[in-house]
């Protein structure tokens, strides 16, 4: 088990390096000259060269990238083209804010979504199931940022119950969290339901029912326990997509997280900022994936047994720990 985890962790820096390289060269496809954008209206060639040298832009691209990586390892993400301040100072304090938003939303999603999904599966084709099904399809089709605008319109502008932006009191978290939650919740409930349905007709469920176990025990212990693996994959996958989706939510609610910064960076063509934000968002995604894999190891006896005491026992195919279970 430990070996498995260590193996995954060793991969992380290489993944990050590859991601950084990809984004770095993608951003450099742009024809706009970053040095030119930073220069005042009138400048001399010396000024230009000085500015290029200050930001390390006079060197060839591969060298720029290597320099960036060496600095980034020491948590120095370069200097913002726009504000001329160190990027790390502008970004690192935003990490907990974004993380908090995503985690709070995910926790609410689990607390609300799993019971709803289980209820739907147990009472398949009932009125309740149909209503949840239709509702979740509607929710999945609504663009998150538009939902945010509509909620602001109703609750901040018309009713004046909740603030539309900022993050001072708990009240200002209500709208962002709801906007964030609703589009994902529909899909989540439907997938939990289908994971439950896959298990609910299995022979072992029938057996335990035949043995006269209480119905709630059959549902929550025999069925849910077995449906847990796809649900964990699903939760992790949703968390990973949420991290990307947060960009829009932060934009609509002017929520000072990483997402807002990345948009700011993109509007200003501020490459160090975009690069640093993308890397941090990628770390979130990889972290979520890592946690899922580790949880898998703890929960699935097949995976656990593969790594007992570092000795590979019966080689079992590793279950696909990839998102998007269809």
Partner 1 sequence: MSKEKSIKKQYKKRGQMAETWSRLKQQPLAVVSLIVVAFVLFLAIFADLLVPYSAAITQNGMEKLLPPFSPGHLLGTDNFGRDILARIIHGARTAMEIGLISAGLSIVVSTILACLCATVGGWLDNIIMRIVDVISCIPQLVLALAICSALGNGIPQLVFALFFTGIPMHTKMVRSVSLTVANMDYVESARALGGKKGYIIYRHIVPNLASVIIINGTAQVSMNIMMGATLGFVGLGVKAPTPEWGTMLSEGMNYMLRNQHMVIIPGLVLAIVALFINSLGDCLRDAMDPQLKGRA
Contact positions vs partner 1 (CB under 8 A): 15, 18-19, 22-23, 26-31, 124-125, 137-138, 140-143, 145-146, 149-150, 152-153, 157, 190-191, 193-194, 197-198, 240-241, 243-245, 247-248, 251, 262-263, 266-267, 269, 274, 277-278, 281-282, 285-286, 289, 320, 322-324, 326
Nearer to partner 1, 138 or 170 (CB): 138
Assess contact for 116 and 110: CB atoms under 8 A: no
Helices and strands (DSSP H and E) totals, the chain: 15, 0
Count how many Cα atoms sit within 13 Å of the Cα of residue 25 in the half-sphere of its side chain.
8
Minimum gap (Å) between residue 41 Cβ and partner 1: 23
Least distance in angstroms from the C-beta of 316 to partner 1: 16
DSSP secondary structure, 26-90, as one string: HHTT--S-HHHHHS-SS--HHHHHHHHHHTTTTS-HHHHHHHHHHHHHTT---B-TTT-SBHHHH
Q: How far is the CB of 249 from partner 1 (least distance, A)?
A: 11
52 Cβ neighbours under 8 A, 6+ residues apart: 35, 58
Phi-psi region of 58 (alpha: psi -120 to 50; beta: other; left: phi over 0): alpha
319, 323, 284, 324: which is closest to 4 by C-alpha?
319
Distance, CA of 38 to chain centre: 33
Q: How far is the CB of 31 from partner 1 (least distance, A)?
A: 8
Closer residue to partner 1, CB minimum distance, 33 or 53: 33
In angstroms, give the least distance from the CB of 112 to partner 1.
Answer: 19
45 half-sphere exposure, CB direction, 13 A CA radius: 0
Min CB(167)–partner 1 separation in Å: 20
The nearer residue to partner 1, 5 or 43, going by C-beta atoms, is 5
Q: Are the C-beta atoms of residues 116 and 192 closer than 8 Å to each other?
A: yes
CB of 165 to partner 1, least distance (A): 13
Our CB check for partner 1 shows the closer of 59 and 137 to be 137
* 53 CA to centre of own chain: 36
Rounded to an integer, what distance in angstroms lies between the CA atom of residue 250 and that of residue 93?
15
For partner 1, the closer of residues 52 and 280 by Cβ is: 280
| Nearer Cβ to partner 1 (109/252) | 252
**Cβ distance to partner 1 smaller for residue 11 or 107:** 11
Q: Are 237 and 324 in contact (CB under 8 A)?
A: yes
């Amino acid at each position: 088990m430990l070996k498995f985890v260590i193996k995954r962790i060793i991969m992380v820096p290489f993944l990050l390096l590859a991601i950084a390289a990809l984004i770095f060269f993608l951003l450099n496809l742009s024809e706009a000259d970053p040095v030119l954008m930073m220069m005042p209206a009138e400048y001399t060639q010396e000024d230009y060269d000085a500015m290029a040298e200050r930001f390390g832009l006079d060197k060839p691209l591969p060298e720029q990238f290597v320099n960036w990586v060496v600095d980034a390892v020491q948590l120095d993400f370069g200097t913002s083209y726009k504000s001329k301040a160190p990027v790390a100072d502008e970004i690192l304090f935003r990490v907990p804010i974004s993380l908090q938003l995503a985690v709070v939303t995910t926790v609410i999603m689990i607390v609300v979504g799993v019971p709803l999904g289980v209820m739907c599966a147990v009472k398949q084709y009932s009125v309740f199931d149909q209503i949840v099904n239709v509702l979740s399809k509607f929710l999945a089709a609504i663009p998150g940022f538009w939902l945010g605008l509509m909620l602001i319109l109703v609750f901040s502008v018309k009713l004046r119950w909740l603030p539309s932006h900022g993050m001072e009191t708990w009240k200002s978290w209500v709208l962002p969290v709801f906007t964030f939650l609703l589009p994902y919740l529909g899909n989540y409930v439907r997938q939990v339901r289908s994971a439950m349905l896959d298990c609910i007709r299995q022979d072992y469920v029938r057996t335990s029912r035949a043995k006269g176990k209480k119905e709630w025990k059959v549902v929550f212990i025999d069925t849910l326990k077995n449906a847990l693996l796809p649900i964990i994959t699903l939760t992790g996958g949703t968390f990973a997509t949420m991290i990307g989706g947060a960009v829009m939510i932060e934009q609509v609610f002017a929520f000072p997280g990483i997402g807002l910064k990345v948009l700011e960076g993109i509007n200003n063509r501020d490459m160090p900022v975009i690069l640093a934000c993308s890397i941090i968002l990628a770390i979130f995604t990889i972290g979520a994936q890592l946690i899922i894999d580790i949880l898998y190891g703890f929960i699935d006896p097949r995976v656990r047994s593969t790594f007992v005491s570092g000795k590979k026992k019966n080689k079992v195919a590793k279950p696909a720990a990839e998102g998007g279970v269809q």
